Structure 1
Amino acid sequence: MKALDGIKVLDFTHVQSGPTCTQMLGWFGADVLKVERPGMGDATRQQLVDVPGADSLYFTMLNHNKRSIELNSKDEVGKKVLTRLIEECDVLVENFAPGALDRMGFSWERIQEINPRIILASIKGFGPGKYQDCKVYENVAQCVGGSASTTGFRDGLPLVTAAQVGDSGTGLHLCLGIVTALYQRQTTNRGQRVSAAMQDSVLNLVRVKLRDQQRLQKGPLVEYSQHGEGIPFGDATPRGGNDSGGGQPGRILKCLGWEQDPNAYTYFIIQAAIWDKVCDVIGEPNWKTADGFAKPADRLDKLNLIFERIEQWTMTKTKFEVMDMCNPHDIPVGPILSMKEIAEDDGLYASGTLVNVPHPERGEYLSVGCPIKLSDSPVEVTRSPLLGEHTTEILEDVLGYSGEELAQILASGAVGAAK
Structure 2
Amino acid sequence: MKALDGIKILDFTHVQSGPTCTQLLAWFGADVLKVERPGVGDATRKQLVDVPGADSLYFTMLNHNKRSIELNSKNETGKEVLTRLIEECDVLVENFAPGALDRMGFSWERIQEINPRIIMASVKGFGPGKYEDCKVYENVAQCAGGAASTTGFLDGPPLVTGAQIGDSGTGLHLALGIMTALFQRERTGRGQKVLAPMQDGVLNLCRVKLRDQQRLDAGPLKEYSQFGEGIPFGEATPRAGNDSGGGQPGRILKCKGWETDPNAYTYFITQAAVWEPICDVIGKPEWKTAEGYATPPERLDKLNEIFGAIEEWTMTKTKFEVMDICNPLNIPVGPILSTKELIEDEGLRATGTIVDVDHPERGTYASVGCPIKLSDSPVDVTRSPLLGEHTVEILRDVLGYEGEALQAVIESGAVGEAQKTAAE
Distance in structure 2 (CA, Å) of the matches to 1:397 and 1:280 = 68
**1:329-380: per-residue Cα shift (whole Å, max 9, x none)?**
0100000011111111111110000000000000000000000000000000
Tell me the CA shift for residue 11 of structure 1.
Answer: 0.1
Tell me what 2:34 maps to.
34
Q: What secondary structure does 2:149 align onto?
A: helix
Equivalence for 2:105: 105
Secondary structure in 2 matching 1:143: helix
CA distance in 2, matches of 1:6, 1:312: 58
TM-score, normalised with respect to structure 1: 1.00
2:207 is matched with 207
Report 1:342-357 matches (<5 A). 342-357=342-357
Deviation at 1:277, TM superposition (A): 1.0
For the residue of structure 1 that corresponds to 2:176, the secondary structure is helix
Give the unaligned 5+ runs of structure 1: none
Structure 2: distance between partners of 1:158 and 1:174: 27
Q: Does 1:317 align with 2:317?
A: yes
CA RMSD, 1 decimal:
0.5
| Residue in structure 2 matched with residue 191 of structure 1 by the alignment | 191
Q: Which residue of 1 aligns with 2:330?
A: 330
Task: Find the residue that maps to 1:34 and give its secondary structure.
Answer: strand
Distance 2:196 2:269 in 1: 34
Indicate the residue corresponding to 1:291 in structure 2: 291
The secondary structure found in structure 2 opposite 1:15 is coil
Distance 1:308 1:395 in 2: 66
Give the letter for the 2:229 counterpart.
Answer: E
1:317 is paired with a residue whose SS is coil
1:60 is aligned to 60
Q: Which amino acid aligns with 1:412?
A: S
* Structure 1 counterpart of 2:226: 226
Aligned to 2:361: 361
Q: For each residue in 1:220-248, what CA deviation from the matched residue of structure 2 results, as whole angstroms up to 9, or x when unmatched? A: 01011110000001101000100001111
User: Equivalent residue for 2:25?
Assistant: 25
SS in 1 for 2:82: helix
Match of 1:373 in 2: 373
Distance 1:75 1:225 in 2: 61
**SS of 1:357's equivalent?**
strand
Q: Name the CA distance, whole Å, in 2 between partners of 1:231 and 1:2.
A: 55
Give the letter aligned to residue 146 of structure 2. G
Q: Deviations over 1:83-126 (max 9, x none)?
A: 00000000000000001111110001000000000000000000
The superposition leaves residues 104-150 of structure 1 with CA deviations (integer Å, 9 ceiling, x where unpaired) of: 10001000000000000000000011000001000000000000000
CA distance in 2, matches of 1:353, 1:40: 31
CA distance in structure 2 between the partners assigned to 1:195 and 1:28 by the alignment:
21
Equivalent in the alignment of 1:248: 248
- Does residue 176 (structure 1) correspond to residue 159 (structure 2)? The answer is no
Please identify runs of 4+ aligned residues in structure 1 that moved more than 4 A.
none
Distance in 1 (CA, whole Å) between partners of 2:33 and 2:344 is 33
- The code of the aligned residue for 1:354 comes to I
Q: Displacement, 1:280?
A: 1.0
The 2-side partners of 1:53 and 1:366 are apart by: 19
Instruction: Give, as a single letter, the amino acid of the residue that structure 1 aligns with 2:85.
Output: L
Please report the TM-score for the alignment, with normalisation by the length of structure 2.
0.98
SS in 1 for 2:218: coil
* SS across alignment from 1:358: strand
